[in-house]
Chain A
Amino acid sequence: MPKIHGAVTIEKERCKGCDLCVVACPCDVLSLQPKEVNDRGYHFAYPANEDACIGCAACAMVCPDACIEVYRVVVK
């Protein structure tokens, strides 16, 4: 059974904290920063539970501000 490892990078200054990536993620990887804000005052998204990421890119596809890039490694 191959194991999938994923990771996302989020350009935090570009993020507007719309939460759509958090909703789209099937593995509950992402959250909005509860307290910290970026330079424009948004609670930006971050991979709170990054070990669960499978690199499916759902978050990146629904991100209106193109802040997310996705990486994936399949270990056989």
Chain B
Amino acid sequence: MTREEIIRPENKVYSRPRLIDDNYMHYCPGCSHGVVHKLVAEVIDELGLEDKAIGIAPVGCSVFAYNYIDCDWIEAAHGRAPALATAASRLNPQNVVFTYQGDGDLAAIGTAETIHACTRGENIVMILINNGIYGMTGGQMSPCTILGAKTATSPYGRRTDLNGFPLKVSNVVALLDGTCYVTRQAVHTVQAVRKAKAAIKKAFLNAIAKKGTSFVEVVSTCSSGWKMTPEKANKWMEENMFANYPLGDIKDTSAGLEEKTVEVKKS
């Protein structure tokens, strides 16, 4: 068959997500943010939430998430996304509110807001992009930087005597009674992308069904900050990050919720 015979609308098996905007993303080549943005856009589209979703953008690399995913957005102050989401969600129970934060935003300056939104069981989706570094400000150590990792503020590698231990924030929020679903995912392979999307979808379904807080950590790369090619960054993540941040569900009390039981009205 010729290329022209294959490339026809009826043969299309993968499209650019409808709710991903035309804007070029400002992320560095190979950044995990782009993949997770696509998954969030696909899930919002597939669940018919285009007119109901409210995203809360963080401060950090994904500060401009609102330029890429086509739904309503509020840009939060550094670390405060869960507080904004709490109010937006309580005042607008007909909407579905999600936060999208990096590990510096969520697990350092915003730790209190994170923990309290989770323990109150706000009916929101929280997405954490954990690449163990502050990307936007130039690759400084974050609370989730693993031991030994070199960053701009731990140039000889993170040491416990100087910097303490990496914060496993998903394990922390899994202990809180307000969370219904806590999972740790990645997007470095096709299989991982499929699983991550299923996790994000489950989280949104939980929010629609008002089951409590769903927390999806995506262990991610920062090839610029780690000073590696995207391919090497994926390998380094597999070999080093996953030992500290093993993938899989950490908590799931939302089981049994089927997509078909949820009424999603399209406008």
Task: Please report the C-alpha to C-alpha distance between residue A55 and residue B3 in the assembled complex, in whole angstroms.
Answer: 12
- Asked if A6 and B6 sit within 8 Å, CB to CB, the answer is yes
Q: How far apart are A19's CB and chain B's nearest CB, in angstroms?
A: 6
- Asked if A60 and B14 sit within 8 Å, CB to CB, the answer is yes
- Asked if B31 and A64 sit within 8 Å, CB to CB, the answer is yes
Contact of A62 among B7, B20, B189 (CB under 8 A): B189
| A5-B1, A63-B34 as given contacts; A72 in contact with B231, CB under 8 Å | no
Contact of B7 among A7, A11, A40, A42 (CB under 8 A): A7
A53-71 residues at the B interface, CB under 8 angstroms: 55-58, 60-71
Q: How large is the interface on B (under 10, 10 to 19, 20 to 34, 35 or more residues)?
A: 35 or more
A residues near B27, Cβ cutoff 8 Å: 64-65
- Asked if A66 and B1 sit within 8 Å, CB to CB, the answer is no
- Asked if A19 and B231 sit within 8 Å, CB to CB, the answer is yes
Task: Please report the C-alpha to C-alpha distance between residue A65 and residue B35 in the assembled complex, in whole angstroms.
Answer: 7
B residues near A9, Cβ cutoff 8 Å: 7
B residues near A42, Cβ cutoff 8 Å: 29
A residues near B8, Cβ cutoff 8 Å: 71
B22-41 residues at the A interface, CB under 8 angstroms: 24-25, 27-35, 38
Chain A residues in contact with chain B, CB under 8 A?
A: 5-7, 9, 11, 13-14, 16-20, 23-24, 40, 42, 50, 55-58, 60-73, 75
Supply 15 further A-B pairs (C-beta < 8 A) apart from A23-B231, A66-B34, A69-B14.
A18-B31, A19-B30, A20-B234, A24-B190, A42-B29, A57-B13, A58-B190, A62-B188, A64-B25, A64-B31, A64-B33, A64-B38, A66-B17, A69-B12, A69-B15
Across chains A and B, which 4 residue pairs bring their CB atoms closest together, nearest first?
A64-B34, A18-B30, A18-B29, A16-B29
